[in-house]
Amino acid sequence: MNFINTIRTASLLGLLFLAGSCKDFVDINGDPNNPTTPVLDLILPATQVSMAGSLRDVNVGASILTQQLYTTNTSRNFQEGTDYQASWNALYTQVLGDLEIIIREGTIQQRWDYVSIAKLQKAYIYSLMVDLWGDIPYTDAIKGLTVTDPAFEKGDVIYDKLFTLIDDGLADAAKGNFAIQPTTADLIYKGDKASWIRMGNSLKLKLFNQIRLVQPDKAKAGIAALLSSNAPLISTNAQDFSFRFGSSETPANRHPWHRAEYQASKSYYMSQNFMERLFGTDDPRIRYFFFRQTSNYTVGFTPTGNGYFGRYTGDATASPNDNALKATFGVYPAGGLYDSAPINNLTAANVFVSNSGVTGAPKVVTNTDGSGAGVFPFITNAMVKFILAEAALTMGTTGDAKLLFQDGITAHLNSVNTISTSGGNSAPVLPTATITAFVASRTAQYDAANAAGKLNAVMTQKYIAQFGNGIESYNDYRRTDLPVLAAPIAPLNTFPLRLSYSVTELSTNGSVSDNAEKLQAAQQITPVFWDK
């Protein structure tokens, strides 16, 4: 990790602006006195900004693999060692390095509030890194310059350590005063102790459910203990563990998807498979997820006839000059525009996707459209409900799976409403009656299904609700094979069971460099430890 240690300082400032932050953080980032003792209320928000930014590339890649976005190579299951190098490097050199500073200095100062938050964030990040890459540096990685070639540890070993780390973080929250000042030093929960406790318990819930195929007894017992002890979980949308982006262009703190697409050149196509899934199932979120730049597109490789113009997974056709034609991100989760234009091809079967009251028109988007005040949903109320439903169906844990399924859908629809009407965004809310009717329609499908169909219904609705967090969709798909995804048109490889390692890490870390090529090749076909 020699290379990583040398780039740490140089890359931090760049990532903060690349990732997007918020006004409060930008205001406190400068420190004219340059203190020699780390200032915890400056470092903590930096870790949260860096966390959102560092996960950008892996989030995009996972969203493409699970057919929620499209780029040519990734949608054909092709990976290179540079694809996720920026995420790998930034997570280790910026986020995790700064969290270790907070844990060390906070312990010295007995600032257990900062220590608690740092440990919970650390556990969350390392859990995602195990989920994405499998075996990674853990114990040695926190030793900085004293260990230049950190050993890679097995994912299941790290997970065991993370359960302990979460418990330690929760225990620290109970020590002394929990008084983050200013509250803006905590960009996610504003120093609210109860919310961080809910986050820690919800993270444990997620990890227990993640290991249910390979450690079923531990998974079931862990979830049962959380539920029987009434451990507080994220249970309302206001308690979501999410990163909210701002609307400022200078300094840049908008959602990265807005910054990438609301300009003349564009980085992505929307997934044709995903748009057609929403359109074909009469899902009203389609107007919030996507904005059409044209009302019709009837030539070329995607003859939609209604403006929902993207690309099918694996399509290797060269890209024409179509930046002003293809559909782009909408108001959720990227803070773009709400699509209020009439939709062609609607039939009498469409109840929730309709042209009732629409008055808008498609347009070619620019950086003055929308606000960019979107969200990166890490662990949300909706996700927790779907996790509990999955656990009830597959492990027999307590809870009414049907009610949890309903609550999960409702929670996400309300989250769409919240993002659509806050932070400078302006979109009509889904009326309560529409939400109720839509949930009833999905419930009818759930009721009519057998046991396998009920799990499919849960995982499908969770998949849709996780738009904006492809990492969790990638985890769920590998664990459950749900929802069923279309086969790529022209795959270059098998579906990757892990993401490619940073090529720089493999070449400079002496603990793995002699075996680098073999390790990288194995990433494509080797399941992570919880994927059976």
Q: Write out the two tokens for 483.
A: 């929802």
Going by C-alpha positions, the residue among 404, 411, 379, 407 that lies closest to residue 389 is: 404
The pLDDT confidence band at residue 34, using thresholds 50, 70 and 90, is low
Whole-number Å distance between alpha carbons of 105 and 133: 30
Q: Please, are residues 417 and 430 in contact by the beta-carbon 8 Å criterion?
A: yes
Nearest 10 degrees: Cα torsion 154, 156, 158, 162: 170
**Alpha-carbon distances of 68 from 61, 154, 276, 311, rounded to whole Å:** 10, 30, 11, 11
Whole-number Å distance between alpha carbons of 203 and 222: 12
- Quick one: what percent of the chain has pLDDT higher than 70? 92
Q: Please, are residues 301 and 317 in contact by the beta-carbon 8 Å criterion?
A: yes
CATH top class, domain 2-191+497-525: mainly alpha
Q: Write out the two tokens for 280.
A: 């074909």
Amino acid at 198: R
The pLDDT confidence band at residue 18, using thresholds 50, 70 and 90, is very low
Q: Write out the two tokens for 505.
A: 């890490």
Predicted pLDDT at 298: 61
Q: Is the peptide bond before 251 cis (omega within 30 degrees of 0)?
A: yes
The pLDDT confidence band at residue 1, using thresholds 50, 70 and 90, is low
The pLDDT confidence band at residue 251, using thresholds 50, 70 and 90, is confident
Whole-number Å distance between alpha carbons of 10 and 47: 16
Predicted pLDDT at 14: 39
- Give CA angle at 49 (69, 5), nearest 5°: 100
- Cα-trace Rg, the chain: 22
Give pLDDT tens digits for 438-457: 999 999 999 999 999 999 99
Record the pTM.
Answer: 0.93
Residue 200: HSE in the Cβ half-sphere, 13 Å Cα cutoff: 26
Give pLDDT tens digits for 265-300: 999 999 999 999 999 999 999 999 999 999 887 655
Q: Tell me what the pLDDT averaged over the chain comes to.
A: 92
Taking residues 323-328, report their average pLDDT. Answer: 94
Q: Please, are residues 372 and 257 in contact by the beta-carbon 8 Å criterion?
A: no
